[in-house]
Amino acid sequence: MSSSISRQLILWLAIPLMLVALSGALIHYFNNVAPVVISSDRRLKDAANSLIAHVVVKEGQIELDPLIKPSLPPAESIKYALRDTQGRLLTGDARLPIVAMGSEGTQLLAMAQLDGRTVRTLTTRFDSAGGPVTMTVADLSATREPEARLGLISTLLWDFVQLDITLVLVWVGIQLGLRPIRRLRDEIASRSPLDLRPIVESSVPREIAPVVVTLNRLFGMLRTSVQSQQQFIADTAHQLRTPITGIQAQLDVLAAEPAALPIRDRVRRLQDGIRQLAHTSNQLLSLARADPSANIAAKTQAVDLGALVGDIAARYFDRALQANIDLGVETASVSIRADPSLIDDLLSNLLDNALKYTPPGGRVTVSVAAPNHKALIAVEDSGPGIPESETHRVRLRFYRLPNSPGHGSGLGLAIVDEIARLYGATLSIGNAANGGARITVQFP
């Protein structure tokens, strides 16, 4: 599966930006939260050490030395509670919660609730003269710690919101930046196989100009290759037609000689064979010309289908009269852009097939119309028609319907189909109203 440039760019940007956001949050923490926590812990330890140093036993009771009370921290900043191992309050503030300590540690820092406020506490376990006790000290002046922690979370959330907004803006910028590439893609996709014009290099950004230069070089190589192929086809046509035409002329002269009377039937069979050879070679050359690879650089021009159909039908009037077939033409002024020689091949093969399969006394009609502003060529005949099950197979090369008359090569409709596909036209094979075949070619 091909990777997406925009997705990769977003990924490459998202990871560093996320690390930057986390780094900013950590810096915020150490600049705002950590000093508060460190200062609070220091005050708790100082207060706890001062209180522990003055724990005394009087009359069997563990208490604080009353002489140090004036030197204790203000009650609004420090609260303390001295408890025995059973959790009974010995002295201090009973509102301070009992903190459970493990058997290993002697000090434990924790957060506790006091009068609806979150305070930081330090619990110390030590051995006094009256036995083991615990001292819990709470710092009421460290109330900024929860707010600082909330500020940290808020900052972190806002950083990630900014990150999301930044990535969206970056994605929009990438999509806008990739528009020239999409325009180039659409321009190439909209071209027909015949269009090998160079792409204008000045219309693309410098970053993709090397790609355009490479494409133009490829187009130039294809044009050169196709021109060589077209020249080969033209030379082959000349080399084939010249000797075949000469043989036909010689056979016509021989058939007219009195000395050839005893072998006239053989001469006529030779004439039929040469005519079939000439027809087949012309069809093979037409098929080669219709190949998209041979027409990739073909020059297209405006073709008047009405006038072209009239000219081609005129070439077949004599053949239709000799076969006692009524050849009719219905034309309209419709133009397409194509190679006139290929459209000539298309129409010639349609008319040749229609006349070949129409019995004497039948009718062949070729028409040109433009329904829905789309050029349409239709050829109808009164022959046996084409079964629906064979409409796909008759498009194949060298395929002929069973029991077909004559000695055709099965290339006529293959040539028509190849030329139609070359121009994006639709070839439809159906039945005419009189039972014969109706073949249409509709151009886009």
**Which of 107-125 are b and which e, b meaning 16 or more Cβ less than 10 Å from the residue's Cβ?**
ebeeebeeeeeebbbbbbb
Domain ranges of the chain: 5-161, 194-298, 299-444
CA distance 167 to 172: 9
Tell me the whole-structure pTM to 2 decimals.
0.48
Q: By CB neighbour count within 10 A (0-12 exposed, 13-18 middle, 19+ buried), where does 39 fall?
A: middle
Structure tokens at 153: 């979370």
DSSP letter assigned to residue 73 = P
Between the alpha carbon of residue 216 and those of residues 186, 293, 414, the distances in Å are 16, 18, 33
Is the separation of the CB atoms in 244 and 271 below 8 Å? no
Q: What are phi and psi of 100, to 5 degrees?
A: -80, 130
Per-residue model confidence (pLDDT) at position 297: 47
Structure tokens at 97: 């919660």
Is the separation of the CB atoms in 80 and 51 below 8 Å? yes
Of how many residues is the chain composed?
Answer: 444
Structure tokens at 183: 């325009």
Q: By CB neighbour count within 10 A (0-12 exposed, 13-18 middle, 19+ buried), where does 161 fall?
A: exposed
CA distance 50 to 65: 11
Report the CATH fold assignment for 299-444: Heat Shock Protein 90 (3.30.565)
Is the separation of the CB atoms in 434 and 382 below 8 Å? yes
In a structure prediction context, what are the per-residue pLDDT tens digits for the chain, which is 444 residues long?
456 777 777 888 888 888 887 887 777 767 766 677 777 788 888 888 888 888 888 777 787 776 665 556 665 678 888 888 888 888 888 888 888 777 666 888 888 888 777 788 888 888 887 788 888 888 887 555 556 667 667 777 887 788 888 888 888 888 888 888 888 888 888 876 667 788 888 778 887 888 888 888 888 888 787 777 667 766 666 667 677 777 878 877 787 788 777 887 888 888 777 777 776 777 667 666 666 555 554 567 888 888 898 899 998 899 899 999 999 988 888 888 888 888 888 898 899 888 888 889 999 999 999 888 889 999 999 888 888 888 888 888 777 777 666 666 677 788 888 888 888 888 998 888 777 889 999 988
Structure tokens at 372: 């829905």
Four-point Cα dihedral 198, 199, 200, 205, nearest 10: -150
Q: List the one residue out of 403, 223, 233, 394 whose CA is nearest residue 297.
A: 223
Is the separation of the CB atoms in 369 and 379 below 8 Å? no
Element (H, E) at 88: none
Q: Tell me the pLDDT tens digit for each residue of 259-284.
A: 777 887 888 888 777 777 776 777 66
Element (H, E) at 190: helix 179-190
Q: How far is CA 88 from the centre of its chain?
A: 75
For residue 419, how many C-alpha atoms fall within 13 Å in the half-sphere facing its CB?
Answer: 28
CATH number of this structure's domain 5-161, picked from the four choices 3.40.50, 2.60.120, 1.10.3110, 3.30.450: 3.30.450
Mapped onto helix, strand or coil, the DSSP state of residue 364 is: strand
Residue type, 271: Q
